[in-house]
Structure 1
Amino acid sequence: MQSSVSAAFVHGAVEIEVTAVGVRAHRLPAWARARGDAQLKLAEAQPAGVRLAFATTAQRVALTALATRFGYAGVPPRAPGVFDAVVDGSLVASHSLGSAVVVTLDMATGRTTTSEAEPETLVFDLGPSGPERHVEIWLPHTESVELVALEADAPLRPVAGTGRTWLHHGSSISQGSNAATPTGTWASVAARAARVDLVNLGFGGSSLLDPFVARVMRDTPADLVSLAAGINIVNSDLMRRRAFTPAVHGFLDTVRDGHPDTPLLVMTPILCPIHEETPGPGAFDVAALAEGVTRFRATGDPAEVAAGKLTLQVVRAELERVVKDRKDPHLHLVDGLTLYGPDDVDAHPLPDSLHPDAETHRLIGERFTETVFGAGGAFAGGPFVG
């Protein structure tokens, strides 16, 4: 009883693009996308945290979509993206598209190849029909999706947000790399537990303190704002200490222009052993790739830290200093090592030496919820469910 996907059903996106196939949710507006590189454009089009939300008495909902997946020649492909159906807060079904447009980059030659695919329809069984229920279909966090049609065996009614809006910017860890499902990324785990409406600006490889991202955050309505910074600065070897600290101040200044009194949280990096004392750049571990395993390594020289190169230990100290120096009563700091730190490595190793696995994403999300949304936390005050 619904055909094309109306923007009224889409939550967590910053902009909706009409394509030749359907509609695509973007996490940056077109003017900002034009200022980013190919990596950022790829990441922001993957709809981490974006979901279709509606009220219905329907028993079944069908979503027709076309996915685009990206990979590297010679690197094991990621598993297909997952669509999660949530009814009144409970996950009831998960499905993946059987085929997709696949864009493959050969890093040796710089060439890309693109396959073709047609839209497919996923059918979600929501359980026996009855009173009207709140339904969300969370879109994949690892692949771009064009939404073609949304149909059901009963009317679908768009709904407004259900709580405070949490606007978060971070890296691939915030986007959800290595999480198994879109509701399983640490940010989604925290948002669902705290009953806040997530706008996830976590971009793989692209938490780089870009001024245009700060402007997007400045102009996006939000009740809660957070920034996870550091890992991409280090593993891209983008800045030295002299540039990093003023860039953080400038980013926060811009965000504050639009959110002068909003609770604003700075999150320092979680533990990443390869970059704790060794600067970037990071790179694929070629020996591991030869064995069919994706793993990363740090290639910098620790001796250069004295000359200003950044490690995660340096970044944490600088972020702590920035928050202290700003003397902003609404600015808060959370130590990423309390979310995932040295005591967690044995039980929860990073499978690729960089990103948490699915279980660790959940652990980080639960700890973030308790620390930040719980009593005495920076974002306390909402209908937190412990």
Structure 2
Amino acid sequence: MLLVNVLRQNPEWVKERLKVKNFSKIELVDEIIALDDERKRLQTEFDNVQSQINTASKTIGMLMAQGKKEEAEGAKAEVASLKPSLEPLKLNTAEVEEKLQKALIQLPNLPNEKVPLGKTPEENEVVREGGAKPILIPDALAHWDLIKKYDLINFETGAKITGSGFPLYKGKGAKLQRALVQYFLDFNTDAGYTEYIPPFMVNEASAYATGQLPDKEGQMYHATEDNFYLIPTAEVPVTNIYRDEILKENDLPLKLTAHSPCFRREAGSFGKDVRGLNRVHQFEKVEIIQIVHPEKSETVLDEMVAHVERLIQSLELPYRILRLCGGDMGFTSAITYDFEVYSAAQERWLEVSSVSNFENYQANRLKCRFKNADGKTQLVHTLNGSSLALPRIMAALLENNQTENGINLPKVLWRYFSAEGI
């Protein structure tokens, strides 16, 4: 959530940044400032009345001690006349504050100055590419056919058990999934991230704090009786570890990693983009999160991008890194880099990771702060990235490494799976 002070200091600049993000309700900026003005006016009026009551109350005691009962009665009458105005002012202030909060949560994060202009994925900026696209064997198969050929995943039985988009991994398919998870976690913990196993459902406060609510409620599975939400990513529960916390400056940076199932309704998805593992409702992902000093977040973002890049390089997959344009960015992100790997049999790029800096937007919702050396309390900056999402990584590994005699796997996976491959 944006800080009101940021809007007040330079509203026209805020409006320009929101336009970069293709946000249409620009008038909200002026509405929020007007609501904040009204909140301040009411609060000042309340404080003034309360001050008069406090002063008169002290005077009553002094007058009584001096035996000036008549004057004391006059002071009591003044207090009695002032008190009834407090409750309406209190209620009006609370009502305005509620309207202010509802307006504030409608504003997305402001895009960083490095974010390119654009409204569609085609306008994202390619930062760099790496790896060589493989030359496939004749009659190479797409991963959904390879899955059937080697009996790795059963989509039909998964659909019977739950519904479309809930795959059932089996045999070597299940083992490969487990091998990838363990390798990704080891890669992250070797880089200094602490591993967590979080709850896989969160309450409304947690979903609000990281920005899933109210922006993405249509994409989340909701256990209505308990008002819990199935997590779309481990980012949500892990970041909320530090909700309502005041950290010490020397606690920073905090580096966290977690593996979890992820649940996404993906409403409106159809066509070739959803075949096989391209888009499913339940999948597994390993996440990395950092909570850092505000002055360090840009440097940390570069470090996290480099970390994910090394991980993809170790899997020997052709990849590219995109800096997302304003119109293609997430609601809470200030800047996002997407990683895509090349799926050779499909002849298309598949997104496998997003690495984002939220600056203090999430932290303001989380109320996650730290005390600096001077004892001043400041909001932290939060960042997160996929390291990595498994379905499309598995799809690319299967397609790009198929041979006449099976599917080879990169050397880094041999000790987790086997050197023989599939």
Give the shorter-chain TM-score range.
under 0.3
Higher alpha-carbon Rg: 2
Higher relative contact order (CA 8 A, sep 6+): 2
Q: Report the structure, 1 or 2, having the larger helix content.
A: 2
Q: Report the structure, 1 or 2, having the larger strand content.
A: 1
